Chain A
């Protein structure tokens, strides 16, 4: 097996990443851009990156993912990418005719130091950007941060370029959903509607990356947050930024730019975090939580009570984006499971700080690490095994080598398809997640138990 060579002995490595638990900024920016209606993501760099980012998103979502590239060649790397971007914008508006182009940089254009705003301004002057069309941009050097940083930067670019305050307050709440699946975004909208609150959510990839099969191929599917909606975010009552790493900068920017108060919440995974989300909606919009939502919550708690005996004390290893791991850890604790190892490939001390707050009490032995990789997590598991592994697809080699029950969660999931339809956020999402965890634990029990213990009823 691929990881048979992994040894239990953990040595300090400074120069090397083995089996990364993160990827680079531009793909996050590309994903965020897809959440604007009528938007063409544009990668300012060489072709390869764009091709990789598109294939990777395609593998995860099983949907067409469009993005254009400045197609840098050696010349551009020496003389700068201005001519390429100008030409690209001209072509993009001529052929694909999007409402808006969202430009992100790659490591190459960052190192060269292309100044995107001034290139775009010149392009506009020269007529490459037609009247009424919008171009926004985010700097996403891939040698800083991770795909989550890229996502956060692009969401904050949306605020920077688009949000406006007209002075008139609208009775709506902004929701910045974080780096989550289209199904999660759909679920957030549903939940807010059920609570009776009007929200403006961006980015919103539902309808874009989970579109129906119609026999037509639409370059710009009808989902996504409209430019108008994002503009209106400056007039709304408040902003709920979900996930520190993915949404903090944008929410803070909106607060300082348009005076919209920002509330920072963790991703609503599990009961407590979803309660916080619902409560924030309720209090800002000044509404009562309707019975239907109370019932939804009640069904989740009922399920947890039915099943708690299967989860109690089980040791879990978790890897993923920092916002995901923090929120997921809370759900695991609600189930009385023991997240003994938790890592993220992304960087940011906030992760370790928050994880210690969560785990120091209930799981004092927990090992927590930012800027880590899956190889290291695997080594920890070799030293002291776990009962469950939760990571994106890349954990599958570890799960097989160590023969550990495995739940896929996060980004990317390359080897399964239906994940894009099942939310993990909100009360309904928690039911889905708990179901997945239960199934792998009981499947394992059925597989391994002696014949006498192989029973119909669990």
Chain B
């Protein structure tokens, strides 16, 4: 049986892996995972669920067998400043007979019961794989229930097998689209934005909202982090959309541009450079010197607050290497830059949903020799980490224990992060987390790394 270092790369996969600085064709990507691989990817339903979940005053009901609801029950770590309804798991729990005779009645009853009981502002109904097969007319039920209850009841076409997580994002955007344009916009000012594609994990939307409000920009809706149905209903009154997670929200942003003439900008709130750029670009968009001055002042103030500490940590982290494996490419770009800010280089970088252009950009950004990979699997990742001798892995839930097994520090930059990593304060938290894990004495007990660079650091300090 192979140990991680001598794993063969599937011939089919070879074209999905390149090195920065080397010649070669575009990275092969956007394909379904190879059957039989240990793919880290999820399904359409997963994509829809993660996007819509943080709309906190809506009812979210999963139409399907129990598993899909159970696995997505309150695991996202998206925080709410008010309603908590979204954190419950509601499911039609389809049984064998429902599969044979259809689950329509069950769904309708469930919706009517729940809406009567909880009085949500809207309801989202997620169709899972099996619903696609048995052919329940979910749309018709939603329509009937909406008419009977007087709230929007939105069907989310998220049958798992109909594509990848990306298609789920699209289905989610299409559901949200039905809310947009239905609220009153009369008190929305000229300097107003929506924050899109931030999910308020560890309270991140609150931090970003605060920055914009401090420089005098009105935040109409946060879509979907700490989301509220009423805010989304009137968000078309905002003058600009800022799209943070481009993978999930570009579709909605584009359609708002088309339908309501609200332009959008892609931004990132991770890392000093990207956060500052987001504020400046927004100020420039409104063509207001005053806003720009305020933005500059805010950036100066916030950076001054965190710089001394960042420099101290940077001294310890200088030259250390990181592996990054995240969902979207925009996050990967930000992370490469943020790691640079604390003196680290990126030696491995991969995403689940990047496209060819994204990978070209990564190739340009990263140092020669950096391994760039699309839709990787744990064995490849382990192999690359060992080959590049990295000190840190940035990834999600399934990667954490693998990193630890290899004796590598870990930072969760996915749904389960517990630290706010956005904004300037997020940069500080990020650096703290990275520093703590990379320099943890626990690695001294790992045979492979004992006595390595790690110990030198200890000595240098003492």
- Seen from chain A, the residues whose Cβ lies within 8 Å of a Cβ on chain B are 1-5, 7, 13-20, 22-27, 38, 42, 45-56, 58-59, 62-74, 76-77, 84-85, 87-92, 94-99, 106-108, 111-112, 141-144, 146, 211, 213-220, 345, 375, 394, 397, 414
Contact = CB atoms under 8 A, between A and B. Distances in A.
B379 interface: yes
B281 interface: no
Nearest to B41: A47
A22 B66 contact: yes
B149 interface: no
Nearest to A91: B36
Interface in B63-95: 64-75, 84-85, 87-95
Contact of A16 (B110, B161, B447): B110
B257 interface: no
A338 B68 CA distance: 34
18 contacts: A2-B88, A5-B85, A7-B117, A16-B114, A20-B70, A22-B66, A24-B65, A45-B129, A77-B133, A94-B8, A94-B10, A106-B129, A111-B130, A143-B98, A213-B446, A215-B446, A215-B448, A217-B379
B144 to A, nearest CB: 15
Contact of A15 (B12, B68, B84, B105): B105
B3 interface: yes
Interface in B423-462: 445-449
A93 B70 CA distance: 32
A91 B34 contact: yes
A387 to B, nearest CB: 25
Given A48-B42, A64-B398, A87-B35, 12 more contacts: A20-B70, A20-B91, A22-B66, A24-B68, A47-B42, A66-B378, A71-B33, A87-B34, A108-B129, A215-B407, A217-B378, A218-B1
B368 interface: no
A107 B41 contact: no
Given A55-B398, A214-B405, A68 B38 contact: yes
Given A108-B129, A214-B447, A26 B67 contact: yes
A55 B35 contact: no
A108 B44 contact: no
Nearest to B39: A47
A180 to B, nearest CB: 20
A219 B1 contact: yes
Contact of B42 (A2, A51, A414): A51
Contacts of B85: 5
A441 B374 CA distance: 51
B107 interface: yes
A162 B406 CA distance: 34
Contacts of B134: 111
Given A20-B89, A47-B43, A108-B133, A218 B84 contact: no
A89 B36 contact: yes
Interface string B208-234: 000000000000000000000000000
Contacts of A24: 65-68, 70
A108 B128 CA distance: 10
Contact of B1 (A92, A108, A220): A220
- Which of B39, B41, B71, B397: most chain A CB closer than 10 A? B71
Contacts of B41: 47, 51
* Most chain B Cβ neighbours within 10 Å, of A50, A64, A90, A111: A64
Contact of B379 (A3, A54, A89, A219): A219
Contacts of A92: 36
B322 to A, nearest CB: 18
A96 B42 contact: no
B89 A59 contact: no
B4 A108 contact: no
Nearest to A86: B35
Contact of B110 (A15, A90, A99): A15
B132 interface: yes
A407 B38 CA distance: 35
A93 B342 CA distance: 42
B87 A2 contact: yes
B123 to A, nearest CB: 13
Contact of B397 (A55, A88, A211): A55
Q: Which 9 A-B pairs have the closest CB atoms?
A: A48-B43, A24-B67, A215-B448, A91-B36, A88-B36, A15-B109, A17-B93, A23-B70, A52-B71
A77 B161 CA distance: 8
A106 B128 CA distance: 12
B378 A70 contact: no
A19 B107 CA distance: 16
B420 interface: no
Q: Which of B32, B36, B109, B160 has the most CB of A within 10 A?
A: B36
Nearest to B383: A217
A229 to B, nearest CB: 17
B2 interface: yes
A213 B409 CA distance: 13
Contacts of B110: 15-16
Contact of B88 (A19, A214, A215): A19
B251 interface: no
A88 B35 contact: yes
Specify which of A90, A96, A97, A375 lies most central, judged by the most chain B CB atoms within 10 Å of its CB.
A96
A144 B66 contact: no
B46 interface: yes
Contact of A48 (B44, B66, B93, B449): B44
Contacts of B74: 2, 397
Nearest to A14: B109
Contacts of A90: 36
B139 interface: no
A111 B38 contact: no
Contacts of B67: 23-27, 49, 52, 107, 142
Identify the interface centre among A69, A144, A394: most chain B CB within 10 Å of its CB. Answer: A69
Contacts of A23: 66-67, 70-71
A22 to B, nearest CB: 6
B160 A58 contact: no
A63 B401 CA distance: 5
Nearest to A27: B67
Given A19-B89, A69-B39, A217-B405, A112 B133 contact: yes
A108 B38 contact: no
The winner among B1, B70, B99, B163 for most chain A CB atoms within 10 A is: B70
Interface in B22-75: 32-46, 64-75
A98 B447 contact: no
A432 B44 CA distance: 42
Nearest to A48: B43
B95 A143 contact: yes
B106 A15 contact: yes
Contacts of A26: 67
Contact of A18 (B2, B89, B404): B89
Contacts of B10: 91, 94-95
